[in-house]
Amino acid sequence: MSTAVIERPKTRPFAWVQQSLTLAWRNIVRIRQNPEALADVTFQPIIFLALFLFVFGGAISQGAGWRGYLPVLLPGLLVQTVVFATMGTGVGLNDDFAKGVFDRFRSLPIARISPLIGAVLGDAVRYSLSIIVLMASGFVLGFRFQNGIGNGLLGMLIVLLFALSMCWIWVWLGLKLKTAQGVQGIAFLVMFPLTFGSNIFVPADTLPGFLQAFVKISPITYLVDTERALMGGGALQKPLLITLAWMVGLVAIFAPLAIRAYRRRT
């Protein structure tokens, strides 16, 4: 033990920022180690796009063919893709927790929120990737931003931010539920009605009354409207404001719940 001792530094204010970034970095390193774990944000969006476009496109757009359906479908599918990607955050976190690294984190003098923010920020990479893959596929098939490239990019940013807000639900459930399978089970139970019971694939007014009532309060609807307005055209203000309100609300409710679940989990 002749080496000079590198003293442990004193804890500083805002240390949690550095800690969160370190843990986000960890998650990104892990992605590079297991690239196959990216299947859900790379191949899945492509397959979904192909399926919905070519299988339902003709029937839904009535005569306009899949080319006519693409500008409507793509912004909607973008929303569905990131919303599905958010549940991966919960499953991954639960899995991670079961492996014991979190015992290490919890025995270190770091902020309670850091591992959670780290997980979310790390997953921002996955979300971004899914957005880019889907938009690129759309472009290959002939999709173009009709409302200026700036608005188009803003649309991509907003959908990313929405994912980062919504994923706190899954962070919370991921910590709350015992197994990753449990998280996945609940996720599918929620995700399918939430995304298919919406204006993503068909106009909301073709839906039966009870569904329309649901669609009117679902944040998915407003996010889809926002995206369509930014990428294609149409009224922006109302859906955008409602979407932003939902984002704030989701974080305000589920981030504290997640932290509490993290504290209690043993």
Minimum CB distance to another protein, residue 82 (Å): 24
Minimum CB distance to another protein, residue 105 (Å): 8
Residue 178 contacts residue 265 (beta carbons within 8 Å) = no
Nearest residue (CB) to another protein, 6 versus 149: 6
Q: Does 101 bind another protein (CB under 8 A)?
A: yes
Only one of the segments 3-11, 132-140, 146-154, 192-200 lies at the binding site for another protein (rule: CB under 8 A); that segment is 3-11
Q: Does 206 bind another protein (CB under 8 A)?
A: no
Residues 6+ apart with CB under 8 A from 162: 79, 82, 219, 223, 243, 246, 247
**Assigned token pair, 162:** 């929405």
- Residue 28 amino acid letter: I
Q: Which of 13, 35, 63, 107 binds another protein (CB under 8 A)?
A: 107
d(CA 206, CA 217): 17
Nearest residue (CB) to another protein, 7 versus 205: 7
Q: Which of 54, 103, 185, 245 binds another protein (CB under 8 A)?
A: 103
Surface-to-core class of residue 160, CB atoms within 10 Å of its CB (0-12 exposed, 13-18 middle, 19+ buried): middle
Pattern 26-55, another protein, x by CB under 8 A: x--xx--xx---------------------
Q: Does 2 bind another protein (CB under 8 A)?
A: no
d(CA 44, CA 115): 27
Pattern 74-93, another protein, x by CB under 8 A: --------------------
Residue carrying structure tokens 């089970």: 185
- Site residue total, another protein (CB under 8 A): 35
Ramachandran sector of residue 180 (left: φ over 0; alpha: ψ -120 to 50; beta: rest): alpha
Residue 114 contacts residue 14 (beta carbons within 8 Å) = no
Q: Does 105 bind another protein (CB under 8 A)?
A: yes
Q: Which of 58, 106, 128, 154 binds another protein (CB under 8 A)?
A: 106
Q: Does 63 bind another protein (CB under 8 A)?
A: no
Only one of the segments 45-53, 59-67, 83-91, 99-107 lies at the binding site for another protein (rule: CB under 8 A); that segment is 99-107
Task: Please tell me whether residue 248 adopts helix, strand or coil conformation.
Answer: helix
Restricting to residues 114-133, name those near another protein by CB under 8 A.
114
Pattern 4-23, another protein, x by CB under 8 A: -xxxxxxxx--x--xx--xx
Restricting to residues 159-178, name those near another protein by CB under 8 A.
none
Query: By the criterion CB under 8 A, which residues form the site for another protein?
Result: 1, 3, 5-12, 15, 18-19, 22-23, 25-26, 29-30, 33-34, 99-110, 114, 266
